[in-house]
Amino acid sequence: MSQMNGASSLVASLEAAGVDVMFGIPGGAILPAYDPIFSSSIRHILVRHEQGAGHAATGYAQVTGRVGVCIATSGPGATNLVTPLADAAMDSVPVVAITGQVPSVAIGTDAFQEADIRGITMPFAKHNYLITDPADIPRAIAEAFHIASTGRPGPVLVDIAKDALQKMTEFKYPASVSLKGYQPKLAPDAQSITDAADLIAQSSKPVFYVGGGVIKANASRELMELAQLLGAPVVTTLMARGAFPDSHPLNLGMPGMHGTVAAVTALQKSDLLITLGARFDDRVTGKLSSFAVHAKVIHADVDPAEIGKNRFADVAVLGDLKHTIAALIPAVKVALGKNRPDLTAWLRQMNSLKATYPLGYDVPKDGSLAPQYVIERLGKISGPQTIFAAGVGQHQMWASQFVSYENPRTWLNSGGLGTMGYAVPAAMGAKVGAPDTTVWAIDGDGCFQMTNQELTTCALNNIPIKVAIINNESLGMVRQWQTLFYEGRYSNTSLESKRIPNFPMLAEAMGCVGLSCDRPEDVDATIEKAMSINDQPVVVDFRVTRDAMVWPMVAAGASNDDILIARETAPDWDSQEL
């Protein structure tokens, strides 16, 4: 035990929690903490906007599996963290945010830079704290890391009054954390595993509906074993891309609004959804009442409130997915030993759909660049170890569709909140977490203009990320909806010009290399040029056609049965035996 001020106790607590890096910006209320940070072993990366700090913490966490940390001052510093924390909540990312608060006597007086950030974040943070007594700092930090990283991961905010940082206290980091109201379950009940295995052994049309929880639980290896044991098709949601290799013959791709025909249909026609760490999100189910109507449901998740939330579960398996899948493997072996349904017809049907309706796109007849082609080449040239972080929009869907993901934690995106501006700072955090891995942000021209200031941070801190701007001079995804649902009335979705801003010049101004490409024949050489630069961030402005659309598509609120593969074009169901 040693005497120190609250600020030193905070930094010592962060060190004790194993923090090696944090992203933030100082200011009045948090200033006392920045003094011990100056001499701490923790690397602090000075970002240009707190939103960047939050998404960087998320990117770091997604890639490393560790808790990402961001830090900001009171008032506007804290409110700038709201978007990335809400984002981390929706995508179950372990993040701890530290904010300074006005001195405890001033709380509630509308003091300068006072914002009730605990109240503001209460609806979505996994938990949060307001600390006014320095003695509470070590326990709050230990609990915050425990809560953020266990169970269903999520963001935890610790707001600390300035005087609590300044007053003297005794530093004693708790050896362990125990919370009466929080005991996430690791191992599933044996009965639930047996019940699940029995259902699996009765199903002739099973499908693994795999969500991001499998990646969070580091359960990809277990999933591979179980999938191969059963030989059933696998679909990986937007949050689960990479949880199971795209190249595997059992992988049907992504389900949902922009999913493959095979993946969407597999869920629709299945008699058993083996749901692993997924949450029946509306972007996956489409119109819920017409979703997978013939299927029984096994729902395995660590969060009890997800089970049965949107869809009734015939068998609920509550527990950590690594434990759950590991327990399912021997149980399914036993069950299949007694009764092994023949999945041949089912697999033949699904493989036929996969072969008949692969993802594809039209090559523009005027020689302009197809965005899908750029993304496809990025994936091929950069290879399966590369980490990709996408923004939100058409480019995000294409980045999910046209890159082949072979490994978990190589695909980062804002799936739940759909936060434009996620890509650049998330890629920055990812690169800090995996400095030896190539990190590409695949960003939209709209998204890029929300958070590109973090390229300055990257340039100055030796974080050489690569950014591919898919520049279609529009808010393309919104424009697509206007094309389809608003008679082509393009209200406020044109970004007007491929030249303003001049992205390569903007990149150069921030200390990055700026490249551009607008002809298909130059794509490979441009990507290779970008790949050859590793001592500086690189930004490539890919000037693509603005008219490309994301297909397939299930319109919002429509049934998955009404999937279209192109405008007004449904799959030819009559020619499929289903």
Partner 1 sequence: MAQHTLEVIVENSPGVLARVAGLFSRRAYNIERLSVGPTDNPETSKMDIVVNLEGHALEQVIAQLDKLINVIAIKEIVPNSAVPIVHDTQPDYQN
Q: Which is nearer to Mg ion, 320 or 473 (CB)?
A: 473
Interaction of residue 181 with partner 1, rule CB under 8 A = yes
123 binds, among Mg ion, ligand TPP, partner 1, none (CB under 5 to 8 A by kind): partner 1
Q: d(Cα 153, Cα 151) in Å, to the nearest integer?
A: 6
Q: How many residues in the shown chain lie near Mg ion by CB under 5 A?
A: 5
> Is 311 strand, coil or helix?
coil
Interaction of residue 69 with ligand TPP, rule CB under 6 A = no
One symbol per residue from 132 to 151: x for binding partner 1 (CB under 8 A), - otherwise; what is it? ---------------x----
Q: d(Cα 277, Cα 216) in Å, to the nearest integer?
A: 9
Q: d(Cα 255, Cα 264) in Å, to the nearest integer?
A: 5
168-171 and 155-161: which strand pairing?
unpaired
Interaction of residue 31 with ligand TPP, rule CB under 6 A = no
CA 539-545-547 angle, to 5 degrees, is: 135
Q: d(Cα 64, Cα 110) in Å, to the nearest integer?
A: 39
Interaction of residue 391 with Mg ion, rule CB under 5 A = no
> Is 29 strand, coil or helix?
coil
Q: How far is the CB of 301 from partner 1 (least distance, A)?
A: 11
Q: How many residues in the shown chain lie near ligand TPP by CB under 6 A?
A: 19
315-318 and 387-390: which strand pairing?
unpaired
Q: d(Cα 401, Cα 254) in Å, to the nearest integer?
A: 8
Interaction of residue 557 with partner 1, rule CB under 8 A = no
Q: Which of residues 432-471 bind Mg ion (CB under 5 A)?
A: 444-446
- Is residue 257 part of the annotated active site? The answer reads no
CB-facing half-sphere around the CA of 315: CA atoms within 13 A? 26
Q: Which is nearer to partner 1, 76 or 119 (CB)?
A: 119
- Is residue 450 part of the annotated active site? The answer reads no
477 binds, among ligand TPP, partner 1, Mg ion, none (CB under 5 to 8 A by kind): ligand TPP
* Catalytic residue from among 126, 143, 162, 372: 162
Using CA atoms in the order 345, 351, 355, 361, what is the torsion angle rounded to 10 degrees?
Answer: 130
> Is 113 strand, coil or helix?
coil
- Is residue 449 part of the annotated active site? The answer reads no
> Which residues are within 8 A (CB) of 6 and not within 5 positions of it... i.e. 6 or more apart?
32, 134, 137, 160, 164, 165, 166, 167, 168, 169
59 binds, among partner 1, ligand TPP, Mg ion, none (CB under 5 to 8 A by kind): none
- Is residue 50 part of the annotated active site? The answer reads yes
Q: Which of residues 472-501 bind ligand TPP (CB under 6 A)?
A: 472, 474-478
> Is 245 strand, coil or helix?
coil
| Phi and psi at residue 2, to the nearest 5° | -140, 155
Taking CB under 6 A as the binding criterion, the range among 13-21, 337-345, 357-365, 392-400 that sits at the site for ligand TPP is 392-400
Q: How far is the CB of 306 from partner 1 (least distance, A)?
A: 9
Taking CB under 6 A as the binding criterion, the range among 62-70, 181-189, 225-233, 440-448 that sits at the site for ligand TPP is 440-448
Q: How far is the CB of 475 from ligand TPP (least distance, A)?
A: 4
502-509: list long-range contacts, CB under 8 Å, 24+ apart: 503/445, 503/448, 503/469, 503/471, 503/539, 503/541, 504/539, 504/541, 506/452, 506/539, 507/455, 507/467, 507/537, 507/538, 507/539
User: 276 forms bridges with which residues in the sheet?
Assistant: 210, 300
Q: How far is the CB of 244 from ligand TPP (least distance, A)?
A: 26
Q: Which residue's CB atom is positioned nearest to ligand TPP?
A: 444
Burial class (CB in 10 A: 0-12, 13-18, 19+), 104: middle
- Tell me how crowded residue 365 is: count the other CB atoms within 10 A of its CB: 7
Q: Token pair 């072993």 is at which residue? A: 41
Q: Which is nearer to partner 1, 105 or 187 (CB)?
A: 187
Interaction of residue 391 with ligand TPP, rule CB under 6 A = yes
Q: Which of residues 307-346 bind partner 1 (CB under 8 A)?
A: 307-309, 312, 318
Q: How far is the CB of 486 from ligand TPP (least distance, A)?
A: 14
Q: How far is the CB of 304 from partner 1 (least distance, A)?
A: 4
Taking CB under 6 A as the binding criterion, the range among 165-173, 387-395, 507-515, 556-564 that sits at the site for ligand TPP is 387-395
Q: Which is nearer to partner 1, 45 or 147 (CB)?
A: 147
Instruction: Please state, in angstroms and as integers, the Cα–Cα distance from residue 181 to each residue in 147, 306, 521, following that order.
Output: 11, 18, 60
Q: d(Cα 374, Cα 101) in Å, to the nearest integer?
A: 46
Interaction of residue 130 with partner 1, rule CB under 8 A = yes
Q: Which is nearer to Mg ion, 446 or 571 (CB)?
A: 446
Burial class (CB in 10 A: 0-12, 13-18, 19+), 231: middle
Interaction of residue 420 with ligand TPP, rule CB under 6 A = yes
- Is residue 90 part of the annotated active site? The answer reads no
Interaction of residue 216 with partner 1, rule CB under 8 A = no
* Catalytic residue from among 113, 202, 453, 536: 113
Which residues are part of the catalytic machinery?
50, 112-113, 162, 477
What does the binding site for ligand TPP look like in residue numbers (CB under 6 A)?
391-395, 418-420, 444-447, 470, 472, 474-478
What does the binding site for partner 1 look like in residue numbers (CB under 8 A)?
118-119, 122-123, 126-127, 130, 147, 179-187, 303-305, 307-309, 312, 318
